[in-house]
Amino acid sequence: MSRIRFNALQETLHRSPLKVVQNEKRSTLFGQNVFNKHAMQQYLTRSAYESVMNAIEHGTKIDRKIADQVAVSMKDWAMAKGATHYTHWFQPLTGATAEKHDAFFESINGSLAMEKFDGEQLVQQEPDASSFPHGGIRNTFEARGYTAWDPTSPAFIYETTLCIPTIFVAYTGEALDNKTPLLRALQAMDTHATAVCKYFDKNASKVSATLGWEQEFFLIDDALALSRPDIQLTGRTLLGHTPAKGQQLDDHYFGTIPSRAMSFMQDLEQECMLLGIPVKTRHNEVAPNQFEVAPIFEEANLAVDHNSLLMDVMQKVSRRHKFKVLFHEKPFIGVNGSGKHNNWSLTSDNGTNLLSPGKTPMKNLQFLTFFVNTIKAVYKYEELLRASIASATNEHRLGANEAPPAIISVFIGSQLSAVLDELENVTKGKLSPQEKTDLKLNIIGKIPEILLDNTDRNRTSPFAFTGNKFEFRAVGSSTNCAIPMTVLNTIVAKQLKEFKIEVDALIDKKGLKKDEAVFNILREYIKDSKAVRFDGDSYGEAWEKEAKKRGLSNNKATPEALKVKVSKDTIDLFEEMEVMSKIEIEARYEIDLAAYTKKVQIEARVLGDIARNHIVPTAINYQNTLLENTKNLKEIFGGDYKNIAKEQIELIMTISNHITQINALVIKMEEAKIQSNRSIGLKLAENYSNKVKPFFKEIRFHCDQLETMVDDNLWPLTKYRELLFTK
């Protein structure tokens, strides 16, 4: 077994950075493989172009004739760039992306052939949907689903395939993907945010959510990664003793990017440019061999597609560079895990960032309105927001001591807190002219200056305001951003809807002026949602206690965290906002639970196998060497051998003890699995969480102890030192 490890290590000795040719400027490459506005203007007729732009901007339908025209132009464009196939590209509930390639090629009468792609093929396809997760929505009868073109996310060419972003729904209409609910949530946001925007800007006609994600990941030499069955099958290390050196010297963060990783990044960035993914930032992260890439933010639906695409492209590019990318939230214990910060804001159609203060008191009141409503929404739905990022993999990160906790709180900094504190004292009802002037000049008028030097960023907060956007930091690195983005946009949209109703009531029934009404409602919201605001250290135990007192949820285990996804409040919320139906919600919940159970189940199997079939035999092997050595010592030194072989004898006994423990624990874990399997759904997931998973740590402990004792030459698993410090 140890041969695999040493062969892999041998292979890494000959690695050198792949040469990446960089002849063209990034700006020249940008969007070359995207059927974007520019390409559409070139290839489409005027009426087709206008029809597509209308669909993008106002959600209007594209009729079949126009779709035919668009399809033909798209095909011509794609073929001119060397594409031979097309695919509907979608995001099923597996968490990954899916594609099935069809050639443009078609034969006519068996002898002639031509390249064909028409409106029907562009607009709708019927992939064999029966093997995608559906949570019971499609019974075997109606096993059909279809994909439908999303014109708001432009088609692109990857390798030689024209990829058309689509939604994926059942024939009965229910969404079977991550994009559909997101689009509905963004629609709800547009409706309700625009209505609120009109208080401040009569001409506002559209509000879009923006998203800028920051993707963290590990880059591990692929020979080394493949030498570990746990990394190969679960994406993380299930055992491995922490190395003498980890991240304690902080020498990796923002350091020089190692040369092999650098050439991977350059290659990746060029691919991203061609695909129109506006990646801008790259740097080393805190843990050894951990990195981050981040783009310029975009409209949320497009940004989500770009993140999913990036993750695919990263896997492909990494192979060329002999790396394996790990997106797992916690691939290694003892060093930092990986997250995917979701920077989120709202923009109106004239380009105003609604979470950025402006030059006039009115703009600042607009800022405060969206700012306070977001905080209120997060407060009211904190448990749902937590659930939106719950998974078997993110569970290792949230609540563990280096990452954001499982408690959702909002950081806004001391200066904005002071502003909100002042606003709590606004008079009920009508305001005196003096008070109005004071508010405008001295409180909200000072906001822009405050934000300029609001630099005390609290890195421990799961949801932080960072100057002109909120940063949702608890999102896991492997998550599809659509899921948290659907929840965040839905809850804020719902909150804005309520806000509008309350403000209008004060104007209509109490005769308050618009700004008086806004101040009055904001005052109440600020008071109501205080419990969710926390600027201190979110990692400490003190916060857990304090949060409990404040009534905030702290669901560390995934099955527990997921429960709220099917609560009455949640169903009411999603149905009211027309984001998901009860059937869709329940199906997703079922899929989430099953995914959790399966992941823990696979880990249990892999761990059991490694422990008993790799570690124990290796330990016995080494023990035999020690026994042989002891026997020989006895032969030569006779009665004195016990003194001479003292170390060996102790080690033999210690090893025996660990072997016994490992065997006993693995058997117990097996039994726990068998017992757990008698349940279904939530109970099954809970059993795996409470009865199976606790064995992981115990089994690992004994294996990791053995690692420190057994001859390095025999050890079968590539060690942490080798995985983390091979560059």
Given the rule CB under 5 A, which of 284-292, 319-327, 340-348, 529-537 is the region that contacts Mg ion?
A: 340-348
- Binds Mg ion by CB under 5 A, chosen from 134, 228, 321, 341: 341
> What is the 8-class DSSP label of residue 257?
P
205 φψ region: left (φ > 0), alpha (ψ -120 to 50), beta (else): alpha
Ranges of beta strands (E only) in 116-221 are: 124-125, 145-149, 156-158, 161-170, 207-221
From the list ligand ADP, Mg ion, none, partner contacted by residue 211 (C-beta under 5 to 8 A by kind): ligand ADP
H helix or E strand, kind and range, residue 102: strand 102-103
User: What is the C-alpha separation between 355 and 667, in angstroms, rounded?
Assistant: 55
CB nearer ligand ADP, residue 68 or residue 292 = 292
Given the rule CB under 6 A, which of 42-50, 342-350, 580-588, 617-625 is the region that contacts ligand ADP?
A: 342-350
CB nearer ligand ADP, residue 92 or residue 295 = 295
Given the rule CB under 5 A, which of 206-214, 372-380, 481-489, 617-625 is the region that contacts Mg ion?
A: 206-214
**What size, in residues, is the chain?**
727
From the list ligand ADP, Mg ion, none, partner contacted by residue 210 (C-beta under 5 to 8 A by kind): ligand ADP
The reply on whether position 466 binds ligand ADP by CB under 6 A is yes
CB nearer Mg ion, residue 283 or residue 436 = 283
- Binds ligand ADP by CB under 6 A, chosen from 247, 301, 345, 553: 345
CB nearer ligand ADP, residue 468 or residue 601 = 468
CB nearer Mg ion, residue 374 or residue 648 = 374
User: What is the C-alpha separation between 655 and 662, in angstroms, rounded?
Assistant: 11
Minimum CB separation from ligand ADP for residue 303, in Å?
Answer: 8
- Mapped onto helix, strand or coil, the DSSP state of residue 323 is strand
The reply on whether position 54 binds ligand ADP by CB under 6 A is no
From the list ligand ADP, Mg ion, none, partner contacted by residue 297 (C-beta under 5 to 8 A by kind): ligand ADP
DSSP symbols for 272-292: HHHTT--EEEEEE-SSTTEEE
Place of tokens 């995934």: 558
CB nearer ligand ADP, residue 135 or residue 484 = 484
State the helix-helix crossing angle for 514-528 and 482-510, rounded to 10 degrees: 130
575's CB contacts (< 8 A; 6+ apart) are 581, 582
CB nearer Mg ion, residue 341 or residue 523 = 341
Q: What residue is closest to ligand ADP based on CB?
A: 212
540's CB contacts (< 8 A; 6+ apart) are none
Given the rule CB under 6 A, which of 10-18, 204-212, 387-395, 656-664 is the region that contacts ligand ADP?
A: 204-212
Minimum CB separation from Mg ion for residue 303, in Å?
Answer: 14
Minimum CB separation from Mg ion for residue 343, in Å?
Answer: 7
CB nearer ligand ADP, residue 212 or residue 337 = 212
Minimum CB separation from ligand ADP for residue 613, in Å?
Answer: 43
Q: Phi and psi (nearest 5°) for 281?
A: -115, 140
Minimum CB separation from Mg ion for residue 293, in Å?
Answer: 12
CB nearer ligand ADP, residue 72 or residue 209 = 209
- Mapped onto helix, strand or coil, the DSSP state of residue 156 is strand
Q: Which two three-digit tokens encode residue 325? A: 């990318």
From the list ligand ADP, Mg ion, none, partner contacted by residue 43 (C-beta under 5 to 8 A by kind): none
CB nearer Mg ion, residue 220 or residue 475 = 475
Return the half-sphere exposure (C-beta side, CA atoms, 13 A cut-off) of residue 177.
Answer: 29
The reply on whether position 211 binds ligand ADP by CB under 6 A is yes
Minimum CB separation from ligand ADP for residue 314, in Å?
Answer: 16
Minimum CB separation from Mg ion for residue 30, in Å?
Answer: 23
The reply on whether position 340 binds Mg ion by CB under 5 A is no
Please, which of residues 347-406 interact with ligand ADP by CB under 6 A?
Answer: 353
User: What is the C-alpha separation between 570 and 360, in angstroms, rounded?
Assistant: 38
58's CB contacts (< 8 A; 6+ apart) are none
> What is the 8-class DSSP label of residue 533?
B
Tell how strand 290-295 and strand 207-221 pair up.
antiparallel
Minimum CB separation from ligand ADP for residue 91, in Å?
Answer: 20
How many beta carbons lie within 10 A of that of residue 312, not counting itself?
15
**Radius of gyration of the CA atoms of the chain, in A:** 29
Given the rule CB under 5 A, which of 142-150, 333-341, 417-425, 694-702 is the region that contacts Mg ion?
A: 333-341
CB nearer Mg ion, residue 341 or residue 376 = 341
485's CB contacts (< 8 A; 6+ apart) are 182, 185, 209, 211, 300, 304, 342, 344
The reply on whether position 150 binds ligand ADP by CB under 6 A is no
From the list Mg ion, ligand ADP, none, partner contacted by residue 33 (C-beta under 5 to 8 A by kind): none
The reply on whether position 468 binds ligand ADP by CB under 6 A is yes
CB nearer ligand ADP, residue 211 or residue 389 = 211
The alpha-helical segments, DSSP class H, found in 242-324 are 259-274, 300-320
State the helix-helix crossing angle for 482-510 and 361-380, rounded to 10 degrees: 120
- Binds ligand ADP by CB under 6 A, chosen from 214, 216, 285, 603: 214
The reply on whether position 306 binds ligand ADP by CB under 6 A is no
User: What is the C-alpha separation between 165 and 74, in angstroms, rounded?
Assistant: 13
Please, which of residues 286-305 interact with ligand ADP by CB under 6 A?
Answer: 294-297
- Binds ligand ADP by CB under 6 A, chosen from 343, 373, 409, 480: 343
Given the rule CB under 6 A, which of 176-184, 188-196, 464-472, 548-556 is the region that contacts ligand ADP?
A: 464-472
CB nearer Mg ion, residue 294 or residue 532 = 294
Please, which of residues 252-281 interact with ligand ADP by CB under 6 A?
Answer: none
From the list Mg ion, ligand ADP, none, partner contacted by residue 345 (C-beta under 5 to 8 A by kind): ligand ADP
Given the rule CB under 6 A, which of 205-213, 359-367, 581-589, 644-652 is the region that contacts ligand ADP?
A: 205-213
Buried b (16+ CB within 10 A) or exposed e, 171-209: eeebbbbbbbbbbbbbbbbbbbbbbbbebbbeebeebbb
CA torsion sign for 416, 417, 421, 423 is positive
CB nearer ligand ADP, residue 214 or residue 329 = 214
User: What is the C-alpha separation between 191 and 496, in angstroms, rounded?
Assistant: 10
CA angle 322, 324, 328 (to 5 degrees): 170
Place of tokens 């078997």: 392
End-to-end CA distance of the chain: 24
Minimum CB separation from Mg ion for residue 460, in Å?
Answer: 13
H helix or E strand, kind and range, residue 464: strand 463-465
Please, which of residues 209-238 interact with Mg ion by CB under 5 A?
Answer: 214
483 φψ region: left (φ > 0), alpha (ψ -120 to 50), beta (else): alpha
- Mapped onto helix, strand or coil, the DSSP state of residue 135 is coil
User: What is the C-alpha separation between 626 and 620, in angstroms, rounded?
Assistant: 10
Minimum CB separation from ligand ADP for residue 234, in Å?
Answer: 29
Binding site for ligand ADP (CB under 6 A): 210-212, 214, 294-297, 343-345, 353, 466, 468-469
Binding site for Mg ion (CB under 5 A): 214, 341
